[in-house]
A and B are shown apart, each in its own frame.
Chain A
Amino acid sequence: MVTPFRETLKTKDFIVTAEAAPGKGSNVAKTIEHIELLKDKVDGLNVTDNQSSVMRYPSVGVCLLIEEHGGEPVLQVTCRDRNRLAIQADLLFAYSRGVSNVLCLTGDSVDVGDHKEAKQVFDLDSVQLIHLVHTLNSGKDMAGNELDGSIDFCIGTSASPSSDPLEPQLIKVEKKLRAGVSFIQTQAVYELDELKRFTEFVRNIDQDVKILAGIVPVIGVKMAAYMNENVPGVFIPQNLVDELAEAPKGTGVSKGIEIAARMIRQIRDARVCDGVHIMFIGREDRVPEILAAAGLV
């Protein structure tokens, strides 16, 4: 029997979730393979919503697959592709089919994706989206109409502890916390001190929210340079880049897994935050190795 994520957040000592990225096309065989591989090893599988503005199989579709295969899905919802009517309708659909965890995000710009000429929506922003889910939970839609059937989503959101400048981001986090969330998963973090400072900031506002540190294994010097240059809010320190540079040729992935597992152990041992969210996109099959190396299975 799957433990609802809401319960896991309340009861589990160290929470582990992993990202599941839908594929491009109607063939879901590989997605199902990843679900089967990971569903019993993590507390929730978090499904991206047209990730990086690249059109894919829908988040809600993969969430249903996770449900069918006995996992616990977390539905990512961005504000980029749908207006308030479409978002509400999708949430009603998801909840009616057993998806009860939602991660509220702004969404990347269409400029970074594969349909650059599309009209981006952003009818709402992520703070407004959190308020919207609470409104649905209260039995009403955004227009104040009564909803037939109860809804009770467990709500999460994201944050970027390594942003520069950080202060404007923290004000946004504060607004998200005041809107009410049960969990926050962070952008990829590589510096423990940064994560500590972020956790302290959050704890001063909200004692109960669970913080899951974002873990993205870096598998080589090139990837590190690319991420430092191109992925906003991500900073990979030089000592990690050096460590990757010293890894023998062909061992990048193993090294990345080793570093990620070490980070997870450090976070858990020092109780820096409440868990981790592992994003190893395109290498979901290697996630169990990270879990094993971190002593999480």
Chain B
Amino acid sequence: MIIAERKPMAEISRAVAPYKKVLVAGCGTCVAVCWAGGEKEVGILAAQLRLARSAEENEIVTLEATVERQCEKEMVMELRDKVSEVEAVLSLACGAGVQTMADVFEDKPVFPAVNTTFIGMPESEGVWVEMCGACGDCYLDRTGGICPVVRCAKGLLNGPCGGTRKGGKCEIDAGKDCAWVLIYRRLEKQGRLDLMRQYNAPKNFRAVKRPGRVQAVRA
């Protein structure tokens, strides 16, 4: 899923400073699961905004709404009535959701309230880790199901750099595993280390032609 983190309160406050009435819009999918932009976080942010503005004696009215997926126009359209009542929208969705909202309501300023960080999975309670770089050229068949493109800090394709720390940790963060040590251990366990010995040619960075656009064919 897509992982995001809420922006600092000061940045959010600055964005909506000129407005007296805003819609705080959440998304019920990825960002809800990673505690950044679901219904609960919408309620918290709206309350914080009202409190902050009240302390400045500059009241703000907040409407709240959360749609199932803010990255789908049809779902965002459900907010039509609420959006018509406000001067601006504060979106807690990922970048795709914020842009969908901005596209659907072209005449309204839409501000992001979260920073979208990566595609990942939960590692433990409240901790999410990056798993996929959406590179369009998947290597997981050769690397024991561990992605070197994003889980190696340098995205190396032919083994670890010389910076691996004691015990197989990453050069830049002793709290993170070296992806290539993980790959080594997984492939060793599976008796498939020959895969790691194979040469991986330079990556095709054109696998996804930016900006990405995919025409799917229904099966």
Q: What residues of chain B lie closer than 8 Å to A142, measured between beta carbons?
A: 202
Number of interface residues of B (CB under 8 A): 33
Q: Interface code A119-155, partner B: CB below 8 Å = 1, 0 otherwise? A: 0101111111001100000000010000000000000
- B148 CB to closest chain A CB (Å) equals 9
Q: How far is the CA of A233 from the CA of B165 in the complex (A)?
A: 7
Q: Interface code A162-192, partner B: CB below 8 Å = 1, 0 otherwise? A: 0111011101101100110000000100000
Q: How far is the CA of A25 from the CA of B132 in the complex (A)?
A: 40
**Docked complex: A78-111 residues within 8 A CB-CB of B:** 79-80, 84, 106-109, 111
Asked if B158 lies at the interface with its beta carbon under 8 angstroms from chain A, I say: yes
Asked if A159 lies at the interface with its beta carbon under 8 angstroms from chain B, I say: yes
Q: What residues of chain A lie closer than 8 Å to B172, measured between beta carbons?
A: 109, 111-112
Q: What residues of chain A lie closer than 8 Å to B159, measured between beta carbons?
A: 127, 168-169, 171-172, 175
**Contact, CB under 8 Å: A109 / B162:** no
Asked if B99 lies at the interface with its beta carbon under 8 angstroms from chain A, I say: no
Q: Which listed residue, A112, A164, A175, touches B199 by the CB 8 Å rule?
A: A175
**Contact, CB under 8 Å: A127 / B184:** no
**Docked complex: B141-191 residues within 8 A CB-CB of A:** 153-168, 171-172, 178, 180-181, 183-184, 188
**Contact, CB under 8 Å: A169 / B199:** no
Q: What residues of chain B lie closer than 8 Å to A84, measured between beta carbons?
A: 202
Q: What residues of chain B lie closer than 8 Å to A178, measured between beta carbons?
A: 199
Minimal Cβ-Cβ distance residue in A for B202: A128
**Contact, CB under 8 Å: B158 / A174:** no
**Contact, CB under 8 Å: A168 / B184:** yes
**Contact, CB under 8 Å: B158 / A108:** no
- B199 CB to closest chain A CB (Å) equals 6
Asked if A160 lies at the interface with its beta carbon under 8 angstroms from chain B, I say: yes
**Which of B154, B171, B181, B184 has the most chain A CB atoms inside 10 A of its CB?**
B154
**Contact, CB under 8 Å: A168 / B160:** yes
**Docked complex: B188-204 residues within 8 A CB-CB of A:** 188, 193, 196-197, 199-203
Q: Which listed residue, B153, B160, B180, B199, touches A109 by the CB 8 Å rule?
A: B153
Q: Which listed residue, B156, B157, B164, B201, touches A163 by the CB 8 Å rule?
A: B164
Decide: A158 near B156, CB < 8 A? Known: A111-B172, A123-B205.
no
Q: What residues of chain B lie closer than 8 Å to A160, measured between beta carbons?
A: 162, 164
Q: What residues of chain B lie closer than 8 Å to A61, measured between beta carbons?
A: none
Asked if A232 lies at the interface with its beta carbon under 8 angstroms from chain B, I say: yes
Q: How far is the CA of A88 from the CA of B202 in the complex (A)?
A: 14
Q: How far is the CA of A107 from the CA of B163 in the complex (A)?
A: 9
Decide: A171 near B197, CB < 8 A? Known: A112-B172, A125-B158, A142-B202.
yes
**Contact, CB under 8 Å: A106 / B154:** yes
Decide: A165 near B184, CB < 8 A? Known: A174-B197, A175-B199.
yes
Q: What residues of chain B lie closer than 8 Å to A120, measured between beta carbons?
A: 154
Number of interface residues of A (CB under 8 A): 38
**Contact, CB under 8 Å: B165 / A232:** yes
Minimal Cβ-Cβ distance residue in B for A112: B172
Q: How far is the CA of A257 from the CA of B156 in the complex (A)?
A: 36
Q: What residues of chain A lie closer than 8 Å to B201, measured between beta carbons?
A: 128, 131
Minimal Cβ-Cβ distance residue in B for A116: B172
Q: How far is the CA of A172 from the CA of B154 in the complex (A)?
A: 15
**Contact, CB under 8 Å: A232 / B162:** yes
Q: What residues of chain A lie closer than 8 Å to B163, measured between beta carbons?
A: 106, 108-109, 232-233
**Contact, CB under 8 Å: A128 / B162:** no
Q: Which listed residue, A111, A122, A132, A169, touches B162 by the CB 8 Å rule?
A: A169
- B185 CB to closest chain A CB (Å) equals 8
**Contact, CB under 8 Å: B202 / A123:** yes
**Contact, CB under 8 Å: A125 / B156:** yes
**Contact, CB under 8 Å: A112 / B160:** no
Minimal Cβ-Cβ distance residue in A for B161: A106
Q: Told that A168-B180, A168-B184, A171-B159 touch, could you supply 18 new A-B pairs with CB distance under 8 A? A: A106-B162, A108-B171, A120-B154, A122-B155, A124-B202, A125-B154, A125-B158, A163-B164, A165-B168, A165-B184, A168-B178, A169-B160, A169-B162, A172-B158, A175-B199, A232-B162, A232-B163, A232-B165
* A–B complex contacts, Cβ < 8 Å, 13 sampled: A125-B154, A125-B156, A159-B162, A163-B160, A163-B162, A164-B168, A165-B164, A165-B184, A168-B196, A172-B158, A172-B180, A232-B166, A233-B162
